[in-house]
Amino acid sequence: MNTQELAELMTQRAQAVQTVVVRCADWPAAIRYAVEVTAAQGGRTVAPWAIPEDMHRLLVESSAEKGLAVLDPPFHRHGQEIHTALTTADWGIAETGTVVLDSTEEDCRIATMLSETHVVVLPESRLRLSAFETAQAIKAWHHDPPRYVAFISGASRTADIERVLTIGVHGPQQMHLLLLQEAQS
């Protein structure tokens, strides 16, 4: 599969698990999206993790314009007040609509677990068809411990009351996947 086909499959499978998928031409577009989505939901804060340094500056500026605060690590101090987690995924697994995040640093985990909305940026070049194609990279992490690796496919969900699918039980209530096109070249 070429990148285009992988991106299409990823979009379809991620949408099937209620992930909002948006294709972004570049990083600044992704930053704008994260800020807008936070403001639209009435959120007040963004906790960024592993985004490029210049984008962090852009995020601070754009957030200020909308009256949002950009939180600084360590995030455990902000456990109850994180609205949006903005992160970069290491891999995308197209056939299951999954993003893979090396979540070894506690700040990454707290941001992606305690936020209301998780906005994750995935460069399209990091898309693979199946988990098996990421196995070597993941093994390499596992052999360089400690590690906490997360496969995330959609927002937190349960069907424990009368088997009715309900989104947002413990983790984020919304998952937004921003497929970043610039990294193709």
Using CB under 8 A as the criterion, which residues of the chain lie in contact with other proteins when the complex forms? 13, 16-17, 74, 76, 79-80, 95-98, 104-106, 109-110, 113-114, 131-132, 135, 138-139, 141-143, 145-164, 166, 168-172
In which region does residue 154 sit, left (phi positive, over 0), alpha (psi from -120 to 50) or beta (all else)? Answer: left
Q: Take residue 127 and report the two structure tokens written for it.
A: 């898309």
| Cα separation, 24 vs 12, whole angstroms | 16
Q: How far is the CB of 183 from other proteins (least distance, A)?
A: 24
Amino acid letter, residue 4: Q
Q: Take residue 18 and report the two structure tokens written for it.
A: 């209620």
Among residues 105 and 182, whose Cβ is nearest to other proteins? 105
Q: How far is the CB of 58 from other proteins (least distance, A)?
A: 28
Q: How far is the CB of 60 from other proteins (least distance, A)?
A: 24
| Cα separation, 73 vs 180, whole angstroms | 25
Residue that the structure tokens 């600084």 belong to: 72
Among residues 109 and 126, whose Cβ is nearest to other proteins? 109
Amino acid letter, residue 158: T
Q: How far is the CB of 31 from other proteins (least distance, A)?
A: 25
Among residues 53 and 162, whose Cβ is nearest to other proteins? 162
